[in-house]
Amino acid sequence: MKVIVTVIGKDKPGIIAKVSTALAQNNVNIEDISQTIMQGNFTMLMQCDIEKASLTLKGLKSALLSLGEEIGVSIHVQHEDIFNAMHKI
């Protein structure tokens, strides 16, 4: 199953490292990543495969929500189909 992970917040060192480490520790494969910084605001989108993940989708959402609170960013996880449907023009 593919998911989209979004990370948004004030830029600071270590955001990519902490999020990617959390994903790797739960056997989530990052297939594509895009990140940018606009006027001090960090934004990142990741397409991930959770087929072999050690957590359920619900568990992954919870773990990343907690991580986001810990590092001061907003992290959301959505099934790829839902993300795509929400962003169709």
Q: What is the pLDDT of residues 14-65, one digit of tens each?
A: 999 999 999 999 999 999 999 999 999 999 999 999 999 999 999 999 999 9
d(CA 50, CA 2): 6
Domain extent for 48: 2-86
Residue positions counted in the chain:
89
Please give the backbone phi and psi of residue 7, each rounded to the nearest 5 degrees, phi first. -130, 125
pLDDT of residue 84: 63
β partners of residue 32: 47
- CATH code of the domain containing 54: 3.30.70.260
Structure confidence at residue 79 (pLDDT): 82
pLDDT confidence of residue 48? 97
- Structurally, the chain folds into a number of domains equal to 1
Q: How far is CA 58 from CA 3, 12, 14, 18, in A?
A: 12, 27, 25, 19
